[in-house]
Amino acid sequence: MIIWHIENGDFEWEIEVGKVTVLKGDNELWYQIIRLVDDYFFNKSTTVKIFEDTQLLHKNDWECLFIPYDAHLQFEKLNSKSPLRSILDDICDELVLSPAYQELLNIWEELKDELEIVNQKVIKYDLSLQLETFEIDNLKPLLTFSTIKEIMTPIEYKILLMKLFADKSLDKKKLIIIELPELFANPIKISEFTEMVNEFVKKGIRFIIITQENISKNENFVINQQIINRAKMEHLKFKVVNELPFVCEDRVYDEAIQELIKAVDNFNKNFQKPTLTQTNNEAIQIIQFVILKHLNIKVDLEFTRISPNLAEYIKSYS
């Protein structure tokens, strides 16, 4: 498991990352964190630091694309940062080699000859007219992009930006950060988006996605302003197991983590107070309770199905 340790001044966060990293729960906190990640990769004077495990990430090894929840794309008057600029440059390079372009240059030269005749009309004013040489940069402003669809939805803009970034030829690691792809998206579009993410992952592109959809195993959740993930719970294993009043097998601990992740995910979707009632196995409940205690997350634990001796343990532990 890989951990990114994100620092900015007095604030620190840890998230579990993988090929596809999912951030669930408190969108306000994730809103801030992903913009810090974006700032780290793009701002040369950034105060943000990101460590992978204990090593500072070398930002020059990465190419990062941030697609916010309200992403759109300007199709006219492309600036130097537009993802369409490189496509336009490639198209122009092809047009330069075409016979039609060469014919255009010849006609332009003929216009220059015609201008010498027209100049007779202004020479009496001690003026002259010149026709500048036609170059490829004169052609670029005349080429404009447009969408086939009259209206594009937010998810369609996001998919388009992903495609454009994925097609860029780079020797660097590629990272795409996407915010809330499910906004104004139907299940068909979400499925298309997920399939595309999986295809780009095969090409080596990594993703960080804020979403409530089930997309990846590398999930991070927020409860009470605390970030929790499988890696954190695995890291706590030695402490938790040594504090339990019973012998805990690896299999049982793994099951407790899995059930806890499901409970947390359900809590985030329904915005209810988290409770540990998802299993009849009292050992699982006790393990989950101790894990959450170490994570400083308050949780309700129902004692109705817990034996008296374990109930006494929990009361004394609290």
Beta partners for residue 229, in sequence order: 220
CATH number of 2-72+154-210: 3.40.50.300
Residue 275's pLDDT is what?
58
DSSP 275: B
The reported pLDDT for the residue numbered 318 is 62
What's the confidence (pLDDT) of residue 68?
Answer: 95
List the domain boundaries for the chain.
2-72+154-210, 86-142, 236-317
> Does residue 283 sit in helix, strand or coil?
helix
Q: Residue 274 has what pLDDT? A: 55
**Average pLDDT for runs of 10 along the chain of length 318:** 91 93 88 96 94 91 94 83 88 92 92 84 86 88 86 93 88 93 92 94 94 84 86 92 91 91 72 55 88 83 74 76
Q: What is the pLDDT of residue 116?
A: 80
Q: Which ranges of 203-299 would DSSP assign to H, the alpha helix?
A: 230-235, 237-243, 250-270, 282-294
pLDDT of 175 reads 96
User: To 10 degrees, the CA torsion angle through 286, 16, 219, 166?
Assistant: -170
Residue 4 confidence (pLDDT): 95
- Nearest residue to 305 (alpha-carbon basis) of 297, 296, 314: 314
Q: What CA–CA distances, in Å, run from 215 to 66, 193, 210, 310, 314? A: 18, 10, 10, 37, 35
Q: What is the structure's pLDDT at 113?
A: 84
The pLDDT score that the predictor gives to residue 268 is 61
Q: Dig out the tokens for 291 from the structure.
A: 């894990």
